[in-house]
Structure 1
Amino acid sequence: MENISFKRHFAKTVTWRLVGTLDTILLSWVITGNPFTGLKIGASEVITKMILYYFHERIWIHLGVPDSRRRHILKTITWRIIGTFDTILLSWFITGSVQTGLQIGGVEVVTKMILYYFHERAWYRINFGLEKRKRARK
């Protein structure tokens, strides 16, 4: 079994949060028409999403699902459920509109799943924080 370090999970958490926050800011800005609302929503989720993402990574390392495209797809789906729920709640709270929260969350389901999948694939190719790796060719 791979020795996955804290440094690797932390680095993945930070890089994903950068990508995810930029996406949330842009989507929120476009949907609300207000760049400051986009910044508020994006900034507010930085902390909640980093915490949620870190624990998502820690849980997945213990599930025993072998590295493969299937694993990356399953991780994408489970993370998106958690992440979208968080975004909907934060957007609703910040804008005061359930509808706006649902709109932002609904659009982000698509953009974030695509971005997350490619983030996972990129990190699969990076050896940072790993002692040795046997890559599955699936």
Structure 2
Amino acid sequence: MIYDSPIRSLVKGISWRLFASVDTFMLAFVITGKALIAAPIALSEIITKLVLYFLHERLWNIITWGRINNKPTTLRSLAKSISWRIWGTIDTTILSFLISGNLHFALTIGSFEVVTKILFFFVHERIWAQIKWGRQILQPNNN
């Protein structure tokens, strides 16, 4: 069984968040045309998404489905990408609405980021699948 350490989950979350926040800023800026709206959306989600991502990673750590030869399969990465995007899109849409006060902007930002973030998250997952740091292989306890 594979076990990812909490510190691995944290570092992985930070690496994803840096990349994803740039994407969020760009989407929000293109949609609203205002850096003063895009920046607070991207900055506020750094905090909310780090917490959500860490919890998501810990949840997926206990799910054994989709691991072969002590590595996650492509199908597992895809399922994990989609489940994360559900959490992430809800968070981004709520933050976008609270900051912009405009439901249309919030829904548009949330809708566009579904596509960009699933693609980027999948790539991020495949990169991290190759990194052994913080990953342990636990032998089953045969009592």
Alignment TM-score > 0.5, same fold: yes
**Aligned counterparts of 1:36 and 1:117: Cα–Cα separation in 2:** 30
1:67-97 Cα deviation digits (max 9, x unpaired): 2011000000000000000000000110101
TM-score (norm 2): 0.89
Tell whether the 8 Å contact from 2:6 to 2:58 is kept in structure 1 after alignment.
no
Q: In the alignment, which residue of structure 1 is the partner of 2:141?
A: none
Instruction: Supply the distance in 2 between the matched residues of 1:43 and 1:130 (Cα, whole angstroms).
Output: 30
1:121 and 2:126 are equivalent in the alignment: yes
C-alpha distance in structure 2 between counterparts of 1:3 and 1:48, whole Å: 25
Structure 1 segments of 4 or more deviating over 3 A?
A: none
**1:11-90 map, 5 Å:** 11-65=11-65, 66=67, 67-90=72-95
Letter in 1 for 2:117: K
Alpha-carbon RMSD across the aligned residues, in angstroms, is 1.2
Percent identity of the aligned residues? 41
Q: How many residues end up aligned between the 2 structures? A: 133
* CA–CA separation in structure 1 for the residues paired with 2:75 and 2:59: 17
Paired residue type of 2:125 = E
Unaligned runs of 5+ in 1: 134-138
Distance change >3 Å, CA 132–CA 62, structure 1 → 2: closer
Q: TM-score, normalised by structure 1?
A: 0.93
Greater strand share, 1 or 2? Answer: 2
Q: What's the secondary structure of 1:126's corresponding residue?
A: coil
Considering only CA atoms, is the larger Rg found in Structure 1 or Structure 2? 2
User: 1:5-26: per-residue Cα shift (whole Å, max 9, x none)?
Assistant: 1121011010010011111011
Residue 36 of structure 1 aligns to a residue whose secondary structure is: helix
